[in-house]
Amino acid sequence: MTAPEFPTGTILGYPRIGRRRELKRAVEAFWAGRIDAAELGRTAAGLRAATRERLAELGLGRTDSAIPESFSYYDQVLDAAVAVGAVPARFERLLDEDGRLDLAGYFTVARGEGADAPLEMTKWFDSNYHYLVPEIGPETAFAAHADALVAQVREAREAGFVTRPVLVGPVTFLLLAKAADGAPEGFRPLDRLADLVPVYRTLLAELAAAGAEWVQLDEPGLVSESLDEPRERVLEAVAGAYDALGADDARPAIFVAAPYGDLAEALPVLAAAPVEAIGFDLVRGDVPAQLDPVTEEALAVKTLVAGVVDGHNIWRGDLAHAFARAEALRSVSGSVAVSTSTSLLHVPHDVDEETALDARLLSWLAFADQKVAQVAALARGLSEGRDAIAADLDAASAALADRASAPGVRVPAVRGRLAALDATAFTRAGYDDRVAAQEDLALPALPTTTIGSFPQTADIRRARARLVKGELTDAAYRELMREEIARVIRLQEDLGLDVLVHGEPERNDMVQYFAELLDGFAVTQHGWVQSYGSRCTRPSILWGDVSRPAPMTVEWSTYAQSLSEKPVKGMLTGPVTILAWSFVRDDQPLGDTARQVALALRDEIGDLEAAGIRVIQVDEPALRELLPLKRADQPAYLDWSVGSFRLATGGAAPATQVHTHLCYSEFGVVIDAIRELDADVTSIEAARSRMEVVGDLAASGFDHGVGPGVYDIHSPRVPSVDEVRSLLERAVDGVPAGRLWVNPDCGLKTRGYDETVASLANIVEATRSVREGV
Ligand code: GLN
Ligand code: ZN
């Protein structure tokens, strides 16, 4: 086919939650029954219209397919599942006679209802966005439902736009799916590719009929080696799927985007496929200088979309370098366009909304709107020549130079301290010596504890909001938090837990709390990004060398400890998690930044010890999340991530019991890293896998304390005493009772008090009965 020309500048996607989180509010109002589907639909259409106008204003073409239709009510993977008719059997009751879901039904699949569990949620590549996992079985009856996408194309047309619909591509869709319950042993969702591709053909044909000239199929699955399918099978799937999709005449031109990494061996395969444009993530990946002749020839007649503007981070970056990289691709193909490396879903809307941030810091930043403007400038440079955008390039370079030399970015005292470290800083006394030194904690067999947070009640959140607004003095706020801590300590004493926590009421968020107290971080006012569904987070900006001006948690922990004879755990967030849930400087290796954070935590641990705290937990729920997608990059990551945890905890005395907490149960390649953390006690999620993880850990040679979660805190369900007892009996088979701890899967902050008290009472009772038998 002769393809319409691809726009010179585009983005892979734009935040959909709204500049003021309008979509979040409307969706939650719909869930609460305060607005109906029609009103929610109007809000969404209004947001889409505003987005198109804004993107055109910022320099993307109105009628050349430069503007992506990347809206979603909840999640783009769920949207793809709905578009191909892959709704799990338990939700079939929600479909109308044409097999369609209405809005209420769509949200039910996302959130579950009664006994019908929602789709599982998991991390989207190496980002902090979570998608819903499609469930595919041999029986899944695929059928095309293009209505939502078609409606957006039409809606745009009516407003005078020709936009580009975006859909998760068929290979990535199946790679991200899991086998439906009841699927035979050995069944893989990718087995269904041949049945799925015709449905995509129908979707594309319907989009073309509605007036779409280009369609974007997102295939980040091609850059990842972490999805459990052999690489050769993935490449075969790509070849097969795109040969078939490309064969149709009645289709829009196809743009395959491969964000989050390097295409590597997938590049020749994609080059050989009958698609018209390929998107490269040139922030994470590359187009090799030496291509094989067949690939070179194939690429010469395609549009190469150079993802040179980082969609994953908030820095203004090196625009001149970005331009040079895009221009370099012109030696491969005469048709080159610029784009963001990934969807802008991962960054907040607009730097201009931040009125409280330091002006100098602001000048180094680019949020979504600034990145769109950068793309537009680079595109102009491609068409009109470098001189046309010299001023833009120079301004970005000047900001970069200013950032490199600004006070706080490189602090000699911090750097000197890191440079002076030797191996001993990363190593504690041997485990057996520590166990002996900790004996006076006098813990029973199977000690009971919790992961740290207790329910964040409306009162707590109201108090914090009033503090921020200035309606409450700092002293009054602190007094309220102390009262809360006293209540939580009393409750745990009454329940009979063995190692107590202060409950973390003073923390708005387990990362932001520390970011606000450390030097080198800044906190935004409106920098929200979607985490999943209507949930948003406001990552802090780690811009400079990190140090700790004053103790951060000592006051709360010592107050809590003063109220009980039992040990109260000090509670810190680990360096990897602090990095993972912040926007992190890109001007030095992540490992260097992590070690700076580690030193600050190390000092905090020293102060906690000096204040008499005997048990200290350093949470690393994000250890797995930052794992690089490429196997070759994983050892270096595990090295610095484990190293930073060990640096944070390496100064703890043998008598101090160091705990860590990890939030998942499928460890895969990080299982060895968990052993290497060398924590005295590791609590992990385990209830959903029925304690399987205990055996996996033992098999990997892990022989320290372990607290496999005995109930899932993600739902209000109260586990029965019998249920917990049977899980503990399973665990005791795999771990000597002296090393086994009893705790929930994760923190309790999102739970209510009723179910929390009932659940904890049951786990204490179950533990007592199991203790008698050991
Ligand atoms: N200590 C934290 C809490 O209990 C841990 C949270 C987490 O693992 N995500 O809330
Ligand atoms: Zn957790």
Instruction: Compute the distance between CA of residue 39 and CA of residue 710 in angstroms, rounded to an integer.
Output: 42
Q: Which helix (H) or strand (E) holds 164?
A: strand 164-168
Ligand at minimal distance from the CA of 713 is 2
520 lines ligand 1 (CB under 6 A): no
- Written as six digits, the tokens of 338 are 């610029």
Instruction: Give pLDDT tens digits for 465-518.
Output: 999 999 999 999 999 999 999 999 999 999 999 999 999 999 999 999 999 999
Distances in whole angstroms, Cα of residue 52 to Cα of each of 40, 459, 655: 19, 40, 60
Q: Minimal CA–CA distance to 65: which of 208, 168, 214, 172?
A: 214
**Predicted confidence (pLDDT) per residue in 259-287, tens digit:** 999 999 999 999 999 999 999 999 999 99
Report the C-alpha dihedral over residues 165, 170, 173, 176, rounded to 10 degrees: -140
User: Mean of the pLDDT values across residues 723-745?
Assistant: 92
Residues 691, 730: contact at Cβ < 8 Å?
A: yes
Place 1 in a pLDDT band, splitting at 50, 70 and 90.
low
Mean pLDDT of the chain: 96
Buried b (16+ CB within 10 A) or exposed e, 514-543: bbebbebbbbbebbbbbbbbbebbbbbbbb
Percent of the chain with pLDDT over 90: 90
Closest-approaching ligand to the CA atom of 748: 1
Is the beta carbon of 488 within 6 A of some atom in ligand 1? no
Secondary structure of residue 185 in the 3-state scheme: coil
If pLDDT is split at 50, 70 and 90, which confidence band does 688 have? confident
Q: Is the pLDDT assigned to residue 140 strictly greater than 70?
A: yes
Mean pLDDT of all residues in 718-738 = 91
Task: Give the chain's radius of gyration (CA, Å).
Answer: 27
Separation between Cα atoms, residue 749 and residue 408, nearest integer Å: 34
Site to substitute for ligand 1 among 624, 660, 661, most atoms within 8 A of C-beta: 661
Is the distance from the beta carbon of residue 451 to the nearest atom of ligand 1 less than 6 Å? Answer: yes
Please give the backbone phi and psi of residue 521, each rounded to the nearest 5 degrees, phi first.
-115, 150
Query: Is 566 a known ligand-binding residue?
Result: no
**The pLDDT value given to residue 228:** 78
Please state the rounded mean pLDDT for residues 104-117: 92
Q: How many CB atoms lie within 10 A of CB 734?
A: 18
The string of DSSP letters for 646-715 reads HHHHTTS-TTSEEEEEE--S--GGGHHHHHHH--SEEEE--TTTTTHHHHHHHHTT--SEEEEBSS-TTS
d(CA 502, CA 450): 10
Which ipTM score applies to this complex? Answer: 0.99
Three-class SS of residue 606? helix
Mean pLDDT of 239-247: 97
Probe residue for ligand 1, chosen from 128, 456, 507, 510 as the CB with the greatest number of ligand atoms within 8 Å: 510
How many angstroms does the Cα of residue 567 sit away from the middle of ligand 1?
A: 19
Q: Which residues pair with 681 in a beta bridge?
A: 659, 705
pLDDT of residue 736: 86
625: annotated binding-site residue?
A: yes
End-to-end Cα distance, the chain: 73
What's the 686 CA to ligand 2 centre distance in angstroms? Answer: 11
Atom nearest to 617 CA in ligand 1: 1
Query: What confidence category does residue 414 fall into, taking pLDDT thresholds of 50, 70 and 90?
Result: very high
Name the DSSP letter for residue 737. G
Shortest-distance Cα residue to atom 3 of ligand 1? 747
In this structure, which residue's CA is closest to atom 8 in ligand 1? 621
What are φ and ψ of residue 545, in 5° steps? -65, 140
List, for residues 666-677, the tens digit of each pLDDT value: 777 888 999 999
Atom number of ligand 1 nearest to Cα 450: 4
Residue nearest to atom 9 of ligand 1 (CA): 621
Specify the CATH number of the domain 432-773.
Answer: 3.20.20.210
Ligand number, closest to the Cα atom of 574: 1
With a threshold of 0.90, does the pTM exceed it?
Answer: yes
Give per-residue pLDDT as tens, 38-97.
Answer: 999 999 999 999 999 999 999 999 999 999 999 999 999 999 999 999 999 999 999 999
Q: Chain-centre distance of CA 191, in angstroms?
A: 28
The least confident of 410-419, 444-453, 525-534, 709-718 is: 709-718
| CB distance 598 to 644 below 8 Å | yes
Rounded Cα gap, residues 668 and 177, in angstroms: 18
The pLDDT assigned to 696 comes to: 87
* C-alpha–C-alpha distance, residues 266 and 185, integer Å: 29
DSSP state of 113: B
577-606 confidence digits (pLDDT tens): 999 999 999 999 999 999 999 999 999 999
Query: Is 128 among the annotated ligand-binding positions?
Result: yes
Q: How many CA atoms lie within 13 A of 318 on its CB side?
A: 11
Q: Is 21 annotated as a binding-site member?
A: yes
Q: Are 608 and 541 within 8 A, CB to CB?
A: no
How would residue 665 be classed by pLDDT, with cut points 50, 70 and 90?
low
Cα separation, 118 vs 132, in Å, equals 9
